[in-house]
Amino acid sequence: MLSFALAVSCITGLLVGLMPALDAPRHAFHSAVRAGGRSIKGESRRWQVAFVGTELALAVVLVACASILGRTLLRVSHLDPGVNINNVLIARVALSPSVLGDPAAARAAWDEVIARTKAEPGVEAAATVDTVPMRAGNNQLPYSTTAALPDPSLLPLALATSVSPGFDAVMGLRLVNGRFLDERDRKGSEPVIVIDDVLAKSAFGTVNAAGKQLWVPNLGAPPVTVVGVVGHVRYWGLASDDRATVRAQLYYPFAQLDDELVRRWSQLMSLVVRTTTPPAGLIEPLRHALRGPANDQVLYVPQTLDVLADNSVARERFLVVLFGVFAGVALLLACLGVYGVLAFLTSRRVPEIAVRLALGATSRQVIGLVLADSARMLAIGVTAGVLFAIGAGRVLTSLIDSVQGIDPAALTATVGLLAVTAFAATWLPARRAGRVDAATALRSD
The full set of domain ranges for the chain reads 39-79+314-444, 96-296
- Predicted confidence at residue 444, as pLDDT, reads 57
- Check residues 364 and 161 and name the one with the higher pLDDT: 161
- Check residues 90 and 422 and name the one with the higher pLDDT: 90
Q: Mean per-residue pLDDT for 401-406?
A: 71
**What is the reported pTM?**
0.74
In angstroms, the CA 200 to CA 206 distance is: 6
In angstroms, the CA 304 to CA 279 distance is: 7
Percent of the chain with pLDDT over 70: 91
Instruction: For residue 244, report the phi and psi dihedrals to the nearest 5 degrees.
Output: -65, 145
- Predicted confidence at residue 50, as pLDDT, reads 78
Residue-wise pLDDT tens digits, 74-91? 888 888 999 999 999 999
Q: Is the pLDDT of residue 127 over 90?
A: yes
- Predicted confidence at residue 27, as pLDDT, reads 54
Q: Is the pLDDT of residue 129 over 80?
A: yes
- Check residues 47 and 321 and name the one with the higher pLDDT: 321
- Predicted confidence at residue 85, as pLDDT, reads 95
Q: Mean per-residue pLDDT for 101-124?
A: 95
Q: Mean per-residue pLDDT for 228-254?
A: 93
Q: Is the pLDDT of residue 106 over 50?
A: yes
What is the b/e burial string over 387-402, where b = at least 16 CB atoms within 10 angstroms of the residue's CB? Answer: eebeebbeebbeebbb
pLDDT confidence tier of residue 25, bands split at 50, 70 and 90:
low
- Check residues 320 and 41 and name the one with the higher pLDDT: 320
pLDDT confidence tier of residue 39, bands split at 50, 70 and 90:
very low
Q: Mean per-residue pLDDT for 323-328?
A: 83
Q: Is the pLDDT of residue 363 over 90?
A: no
- Predicted confidence at residue 441, as pLDDT, reads 55
Q: Mean per-residue pLDDT for 344-352?
A: 73
